[in-house]
């Protein structure tokens, strides 16, 4: 599975969009990009995943560059409850196991 690089920390004003970048320059063609978050030492929570097309769900949007070497998770209207560590994970599309490889993640602090 490809390695990912994320900024250690970011701040965002409440009500504004939070844009969290992730670099995965060694991603291969069948690998997907996943995002999870962990709020205050709770168990991680799935947010979204995608292959090459932009994806949107009720929680967030995922923008993947055309060369697939980087992506951005967008929380459109951040709230204080979105303060968490966000993990970008790349996993093989052919993998039939549930295992995930977590990096250090980005600590997002949403400020009033």
Partner 1 sequence: NAGVTQTPKFQVLKTGQSMTLQCAQDMNHEYMSWYRQDPGMGLRLIHYSVGAGITDQGEVPNGYNVSRSTTEDFPLRLLSAAPSQTSVYFCASSTSGFHQPQHFGDGTRLSIL
The neighbouring-strand residues paired with 85 are 38, 107
Distance separating alpha carbons of residues 78 and 68, to the nearest angstrom: 25
Sign of torsion, CA 5 10 14 17?
A: negative
Which of residues 49 and 52 has its CB atom nearest to partner 1 in the complex?
Answer: 49
CB closer to partner 1 out of 26 and 30: 30
CA angle 85–98–36, rounded 5-degree value: 15
Compute CA 1 distance to the chain's CA centroid, rounded to the nearest angstrom.
16
Shortest distance, position 46 Cβ to partner 1, whole Å: 3
Q: Could you say which of 22, 82, 87, 110 contacts partner 1 (CB under 8 A)?
A: 87
SS3 category, 26: coil
> In the window 39-58, what residues touch partner 1 (CB under 8 A)?
41-46, 49
Which member of 40, 58, 66, 97 binds partner 1 (CB under 8 A)?
A: 97
In the bound state with partner 1, the residue whose beta carbon lies nearer, of 78 and 87, is: 87
The residue ranges that bind partner 1 (CB under 8 A) are: 32, 36, 41-46, 49, 87, 93, 95-105
């Amino acid at each position: 599975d490809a390695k990912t690089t994320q900024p250690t920390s970011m701040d965002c004003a409440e009500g504004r969009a939070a844009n969290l970048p992730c670099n995965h320059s060694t991603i291969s063609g069948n690998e997907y990009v996943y995002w999870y978050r962990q709020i205050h030492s709770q168990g991680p929570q799935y947010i979204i995943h995608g292959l090459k097309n932009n994806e949107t769900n009720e929680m967030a949007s995922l923008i993947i560059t055309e060369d697939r070497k980087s992506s951005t998770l967008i929380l459109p209207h951040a709230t204080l409850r979105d303060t968490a560590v966000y993990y970008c994970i790349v996993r093989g599309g052919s993998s039939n196991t549930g295992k995930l490889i977590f990096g250090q993640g980005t600590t997002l602090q949403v400020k009033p």
